[in-house]
Structures are given as structure tokens and as C-alpha cells.
């Protein structure tokens, strides 16, 4: 009798263990849908590139995570507000939400002196000479953050970084075009 009870307890224990093991197996997380760059974002990126430097720009085809901590945005806003140029809360909030993840950027437009490159090509050249041979003398890498907008998409906040540093830009949409309203350097090399 003792053997039957012990066998039943052992069988129940093994069955419970198998059940627990089956419950703790993690299934792969579903892949999140790829993010898409909105028409307004693409328009702003193109505006920045058209008004940018005249020597070759190599745009990395994946948005970059900003090089300053997103909580520093509020500190930068205090500096801007002291100059009468504060960044509205809804724009800052949207900027922080947008920049939680990177996004693929495809060729935006035919813009003079702009080439598009994968991050590996653009950010990790073997040497400056090889990089300039491939992209042109004086070429610079450009990495965009995602753009934060206000609800009616008339204000846009974007971080742009390149070889020499990075800056945060606030643009305003006027007469169907983007106009620079304010900028602040966030880092320099």
C-alpha cells in the first residue's frame, strides 16, 4: 500500500512539474510593426538637407537615438524658456515618445550633395580617406532623430547629429514650408 501511495505522489509531482515547465516556456515575442516615417517628417528632413552644408552629406538610413539623455530635453527647454523660446510640452512629449526606438529611413528626395548609406557604411568608415574617396571630399555623416510634433503638426522638434556634433532644432510650419525657430547645440566633438 505504501508503494502505491508513494508512486501516486511521485506521479502527481512529475505531472505537476511538467505542467509548470510547459507554462514557463516563453514563446517568441511578436515582432512590432516596422515604424514608418510620416510625410511631415520626410518633408522636414528634406528641408534640413536642402538648407544644410554645401559639401556632401551622407544621410544614415536609420534614425538615430539622440546623443543626449531625453530627460535633458527639459533642461534645454528651461534655457530656451529663459530666452522666451520655450518648447511646448506637447512637442517635447511627442519627441520623447517618438525617440524610444529607431526607424528605417528611405531615400527622402533627390537633393544635391546628399547620398544615403546604411549605418555601418556611414558611421564606421575604415579611414577618413576611404570615406572621402567613397562619398567626396569634406563629406559628413548626418543622423536624424525621429521628429516630435504638436497635435496640428505646425511645430517640429528634431535632433541632427553629424561628425562635428549634434543640435536640437525647433521648426515652425509657415506658408507650407518649415522655418527654423530655435536651435541649441547638444554636443560637440
In a domain, 16, yes or no: no
In a domain, 21, yes or no: no
User: Strand (E) positions, the chain?
Assistant: 57-60, 114-117, 140-144, 148-149, 155-162, 165-174, 177-188
Give residue 127's domain range: 39-188
Report the alpha-carbon distance of residue 118 to residue 37 in Å, rounded.
16
Asked which of 36-40, 70-74, 158-162, 181-185 is least confident by mean pLDDT, the reply is 70-74
* Structural domains in the chain (count): 1
- DSSP code of 85? -
Q: How confident is the model at residue 7 (pLDDT cuts 50, 70, 90)?
A: very low
In a domain, 122, yes or no: yes
Specify the pLDDT at position 149. 97
Determine the average pLDDT of the residues in 7-17: 40
Q: How confident is the model at residue 158 (pLDDT cuts 50, 70, 90)?
A: very high
| pLDDT at residue 176 greater than cutoff 60 | yes
pLDDT tens, residue by residue, 102-130: 888 776 767 777 887 775 554 556 677 88
In a domain, 121, yes or no: yes
In a domain, 30, yes or no: no
Amino acid at each position: 500500500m505504501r508503494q502505491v501511495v508513494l508512486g501516486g505522489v511521485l506521479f502527481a509531482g512529475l505531472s505537476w512539474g511538467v505542467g509548470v515547465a510547459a507554462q514557463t516556456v516563453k514563446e517568441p515575442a511578436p515582432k512590432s510593426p516596422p515604424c514608418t516615417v510620416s510625410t511631415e517628417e520626410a518633408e522636414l528632413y528634406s528641408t534640413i538637407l536642402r538648407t544644410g552644408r554645401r559639401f556632401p552629406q551622407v544621410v544614415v538610413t536609420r534614425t538615430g537615438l539622440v546623443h543626449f539623455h531625453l530627460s535633458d530635453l527639459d533642461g534645454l527647454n528651461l534655457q530656451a524658456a529663459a530666452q522666451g523660446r520655450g518648447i511646448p510640452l506637447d512637442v517635447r512629449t511627442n519627441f520623447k515618445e517618438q525617440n524610444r526606438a529607431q526607424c528605417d529611413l528611405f531615400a527622402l528626395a533627390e537633393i544635391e550633395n546628399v547620398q544615403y548609406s546604411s549605418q555601418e557604411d556611414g558611421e564606421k568608415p575604415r579611414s577618413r580617406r576611404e570615406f572621402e574617396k567613397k562619398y567626396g571630399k569634406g563629406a559628413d555623416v548626418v543622423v536624424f532623430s525621429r521628429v516630435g510634433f504638436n497635435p496640428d503638426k505646425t511645430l517640429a522638434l528634431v535632433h541632427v547629429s553629424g561628425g562635428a556634433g549634434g543640435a536640437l532644432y525647433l521648426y515652425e510650419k509657415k506658408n507650407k514650408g518649415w522655418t527654423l525657430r530655435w536651435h541649441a547645440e547638444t554636443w560637440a566633438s
